Amino acid sequence: MSARLEKLKTALMSRLGKRLIRMDEALREVRAEVAAADYLEVMRELRDAPELAFSMLIDLCGVDYAAYGGEAGENRPARQFAVVTHLLSVTHNWRLRVRVFAEDDAAPRISSVVPIWSGADWFEREAFDMYGIFFDGHHDLRRILTDYGFVGHPFRKDFPVCGHVEMRYDPEQKRVVYQPVSIEPREITPRVRRETGWGKGHA
Amino acid sequence: MPEFRNFTINFGPQHPAAHGVLRMILELDGEVIKHADPHIGLLHRGTEKLIETRVWAQSLPYMDRLDYVSMMCNEHAYCLAVEKLLGIKVPERALYIRVMLDEVTRILNHLLWVGCHGLDVGAMSMVLYTFREREDLMDVYEAVSGARMHAAYYRIGGVYRDLPDRMPQYAPSPWKNAATLKVVNENRQGSLLDFLEDFTERFPKYHSDYHTLLTDNRIWKQRLVGIGTVSPERALQLGFTGAMLRGSGIEWDLRKKQPYAVYDQVDFDVPIGVNGDSYDRYLVRMEEMLQANRIIRQCIDWLRKNPGPVMSDDYKFAPPPHETVKSNMEALIHHFKYFSEGFQVPEGEAYAAIEHPKGEFGIYAISDGANKPYRLKIRAPGFAHLAAMDEMARGHMLADVVTIIGSQDVVFGEIDR
């Protein structure tokens, strides 16, 4: 297993060279990070280069790093929005995770990989719907999971779990109406994050 | 010359053949599909967002509610991802139990699929037979976990409890007299493993009955052969996995290629299709049921011979045995911590995938070191399959759309999440 991962890392390094901003291996998974400008070109090579042959895009998702690391923000990346893809090579039987950060936090944009893998279509629509990441070159970037006429991007960290509006039937108007939520956001178990090395050396 | 225009119809979301809440806007030229636009999200519950607000161990029951016909497989993927991040070892007996119940789940899923697929296409009686067998397997679910569907049986670090020594039996009631009781309780005299073994002996016979009903049936073949054909190249492009990929002739099964749990210890074959049409996918799934039956038998043998723990004894990440909590101070502390604050998962990210009955079901978890996930992405196989609806249905007749939905084996719990 690890010999195969070494082979994958060498192939990635020689093929991508400087375009590889960072590459790390953890838990027997390889992650590569590329710049948004190189993204489309790199992805095409990942699919077409015979020594890599990532013929399948398994997953594509958005990530919002705004609250990463809690209050202290330890290890929080400089940019807020990232797109993470999981690629699979059926010929070499290996996987790769590619992360790309959008340059602009206010209006994140990333190139679409639909021309490379047709299967990316709905995954990109989902990332757009949930995080408001725009995919340049996507032929049909519509909302996919949220309601018709939904406002906002629900998986962003500044979007409350209870949402902004609630829906009820109004017997006077004889139709369904939207109104601001009447419930307070609450947290039953707080999010607890301890600094590195906490509890060590006191045993 | 009169002017002909395309006709747009709305299919679903309350349509019996839509397998839940699928709404499709179909553009028709006569009866031929020009464009199919599935509208999904009617069952979107924001599972991924909810999971970010729960401690790691609490999110497990959400997994049952994703693909609600293969509950335990979803749990397995979640457990694998968290166990990978934590780096804990799971006892071998728990791994065998997981494999056995994964395969029980695979049969459960495929039985529901073949029954409903038959029902959609016009083979009305299939569903009656498959639900009869599902009932036995549901009883297995109930015996191990207490719930017929949403089991929450797999836990981070193992499984909730060992398999029961006694199979629950039917009790006397005004509807079951002594003679009936004797018949229905006959195979429930021993342990759960005895009951399951009895099922695996009966199942090949049932399975050949399904073949008799469907495989050479002329109507069935007319409805399935050549419908929704996907070439191997397109299947890879579209991100197909599981039986959808194997039906197109690509030999790819995570249980063989990237084995998890103890799949490298059991013996089974992977069926693949040739033509990539709905009929091949039907044959692939049918054969998978028999192979699952084979795996279950091997697991039963192993589990009979090898008693042992079924839960990790690392009490930072797994609850201590309940009887020790009242007598042991340390166990009490562990128990309290586990069920209040939960445990911190080391910073990092992991992707764990399993060969789910529907395809590759993956969990991508990002932890920033807190007691709750920072982000958890659920990679649902049905999402990628349904996305190909337009391509698969184009040029086919309206009635074939129903065949294609059935052949994709879509379940909205996992697609909408």
B264 vs B281: CA distance, rounded Å: 25
Sheet containing strand B359-367, edge to edge, reads B348-356, B359-367, B375-379
pLDDT, tens digit, 9 for 90 and up, residues A150-160: 889 999 999 98
- Those residues of chain B that have pLDDT short of 70 are 1-2
Contact between B351 and A97 using a beta-carbon 8 Å cutoff: yes
A34 vs A25: CA distance, rounded Å: 15
Chain B residues close to A24, C-beta within 8 Å:
none
Residue-level pLDDT at B63: 92
Is the Cβ of A84 closer than 8 Å to some Cβ of chain B?
Answer: yes
CB B64 within 8 Å of CB B71: yes
What is the pTM for the complete model shown? 0.92
CB B285 within 8 Å of CB B111: no
The model's confidence at residue A5, banded by pLDDT at 50, 70 and 90, is confident
Closest residue in chain A to residue B256, using alpha carbons only: A93
* Residue A167: strand pairing partners: A178
Chain A residues close to B254, C-beta within 8 Å:
none
Four-CA torsion B341, B344, B345, B346, nearest 10 degrees: 170
Which helix (H) or strand (E) segment holds residue A1: the answer is: none
Closest residue in chain B to residue A119, using alpha carbons only: B238
Residue-level pLDDT at B1: 65
Distance from CA of B283 to the nearest CA of A (A): 23
Chain A residues close to B373, C-beta within 8 Å:
none
CB B393 within 8 Å of CB B63: no
Smallest Cβ distance to B41: which of A117, A144, A189?
A: A144
The model's confidence at residue A199, banded by pLDDT at 50, 70 and 90, is low
pLDDT, tens digit, 9 for 90 and up, residues A83-99: 999 999 999 999 999 99
∠ CA(B247), CA(B253), CA(B257), 5° rounding?
A: 145
A33 vs A21: CA distance, rounded Å: 5
Tell me whether strands A94-101 and A29-34 are parallel, antiparallel or unpaired: parallel
Smallest Cβ distance to B50: which of A26, A147, A161?
A: A161
Is the Cβ of A90 closer than 8 Å to some Cβ of chain B?
Answer: yes
Which helix (H) or strand (E) segment holds residue B181: the answer is: helix B178-184
Closest residue in chain B to residue A74, using alpha carbons only: B368
Cα distances (Å, whole numbers) of residue B335 to A202, B85, B87: 21, 21, 20
Contact between B53 and A187 using a beta-carbon 8 Å cutoff: yes
A159 vs B329: CA distance, rounded Å: 42
pLDDT, tens digit, 9 for 90 and up, residues B166-222: 999 888 888 888 888 998 888 899 899 999 999 999 999 999 999 999 998 899 999
Q: Which ipTM value was assigned to this complex?
A: 0.90
**Closest C-alpha to A161, from A173, A152, A149:** A152
**Amino acid identity, position B189:** Q
Contact between A95 and B351 using a beta-carbon 8 Å cutoff: yes
> What does residue B173 show for φ and ψ, rounded to 5 degrees?
-155, 165
CB B331 within 8 Å of CB B325: yes
Contact between B369 and A194 using a beta-carbon 8 Å cutoff: yes
CB B368 within 8 Å of CB B52: no
Chain A residues close to B368, C-beta within 8 Å:
68-70, 75, 193
| Mean of all residue pLDDT scores within chain A | 88
Chain B residues close to A97, C-beta within 8 Å:
349, 351
Q: Dihedral of CA B181/B182/B187/B190: which sign? A: positive
Helix (H, G, I), strand (E, B) or coil at B221: helix
User: How many CA atoms lie less than 13 Å away from A121 in the CB half-sphere?
Assistant: 19
Which A residues 17-76 touch B at CB under 8 Å? 26-27, 29, 31, 55-59, 61, 63-64, 67-70, 74-75
Best of A24, A144, A159 to disrupt the B interface (most B CBs within 10 Å) is A144
List all residues 6 or more positions away from B131 whose beta carbon is below 8 Å from its beta carbon: B111, B115
The model's confidence at residue A196, banded by pLDDT at 50, 70 and 90, is low
CB A153 within 8 Å of CB A132: yes
Which residues in A69-105 are b (16+ Cβ under 10 Å) and which e? bbeeeeeeeeebbbbbbbbbbbebebbbbbbbbbeee
The tokens of B85 are what?
A: 């991040």
Size of interface A-B (CB pairs under 8 A): 121
Tell me whether strands A175-180 and A165-170 are parallel, antiparallel or unpaired: antiparallel
pLDDT, tens digit, 9 for 90 and up, residues B31-86: 899 999 999 988 899 999 999 999 999 999 999 999 889 999 999 999 999 999 99
Which B residues 97-136 touch A at CB under 8 Å? none
* Residue B24: strand pairing partners: B11, B38
Best of A48, A145, A196 to disrupt the B interface (most B CBs within 10 Å) is A145
Smallest Cβ distance to A161: which of B53, B252, B417?
A: B53
Residue-level pLDDT at B29: 87
**Closest C-alpha to B283, from B403, B145, B144, B110:** B110
Which helix (H) or strand (E) segment holds residue A166: the answer is: strand A165-170
CB B148 within 8 Å of CB B141: yes
Smallest Cβ distance to A56: which of B236, B368, B370?
A: B236
Smallest Cβ distance to A70: which of B87, B348, B370?
A: B370
Residue-level pLDDT at A202: 54
Is the Cβ of B185 closer than 8 Å to some Cβ of chain A?
Answer: no
List all residues 6 or more positions away from B122 whose beta carbon is below 8 Å from its beta carbon: B219, B223
Is the Cβ of A99 closer than 8 Å to some Cβ of chain B?
Answer: no
Which B residues 298-317 touch A at CB under 8 Å? none
- Is 70 exceeded by the pLDDT of residue A22? yes
Which A residues 103-162 touch B at CB under 8 Å? 117-123, 126, 143-147, 154-155, 161
DSSP state of A183: S
Contact between B257 and A145 using a beta-carbon 8 Å cutoff: no
Four-CA torsion B190, B193, B198, B200, nearest 10 degrees: 170
